[in-house]
Amino acid sequence: MRDTQLVMYDEDYRRILGVVQRLVRDANAKGIFVVDRNGQLIAEAGEMRGIDTTSLASLTAGCIAATGGLAKLVGEDDFPVHFHQGQRDNLHITLVSHRIILVVVFDDRSSLGLVRLRVKKAGAELAKVFEDIQKKTERASAKGGGTPFSEITDDDIDNLFSV
């Protein structure tokens, strides 16, 4: 059975963004990134403009995948919370609902305790949003539509490669 694809509509994005923008304020974070477990960036908030978010998303997913593999080796299902301490900035990474990765970048304006506390609440909210997205995707998929591919023709695909 192939994984179901993730389809995010504008209203879903706004809900996610609402959660992470609030988390930036509540946790005094520099930046927040929501990443799909397969390495796709879903949303971001905070002051970290100009950072290479595509690389960040891919490397975060790789990190979660590698430690997930380690977890299984020692008989755990996953290691859902990671903390990386740097000289100036720190990373707090949480796996939400086995599918979404919440990355919080923070410095000495915040603390690990505060971030952990705020992430717990935001993680639960995000889990609900992604549960709703999943249900919506499954409903649309059962009806045989709900993605741009219902409208796209073979010619559209061929034209992409015609140049």
Q: Which residues bind another protein (CB under 8 A)?
A: 1-10, 12-14, 36-40, 42, 52, 54-55, 58-59, 62, 65-66, 68-69, 141, 144-152, 154, 156-161, 163
CB of 107 to another protein, least distance (A): 24
**Residue 5 vs 111, nearer CB to another protein:** 5
Contacts 24+ apart (CB under 8 A), 82-91: 83/112, 89/30
CB of 101 to another protein, least distance (A): 13
Could you tell me which of 62, 11, 14, 18 has the C-alpha nearest to residue 36? 62
**Residue 4 vs 111, nearer CB to another protein:** 4
3-state secondary structure of 93: strand
Could you tell me which of 67, 128, 118 has the C-alpha nearest to residue 96? 128
**Residue 47 vs 161, nearer CB to another protein:** 161
Cα angle for residues 15, 16, 20 (degrees, 5° grid): 120
β-sheet bridge partners, residue 33 = 44, 103
CB of 59 to another protein, least distance (A): 7
CB of 37 to another protein, least distance (A): 7
The two three-digit tokens of residue 71, written as one number: 């977890």
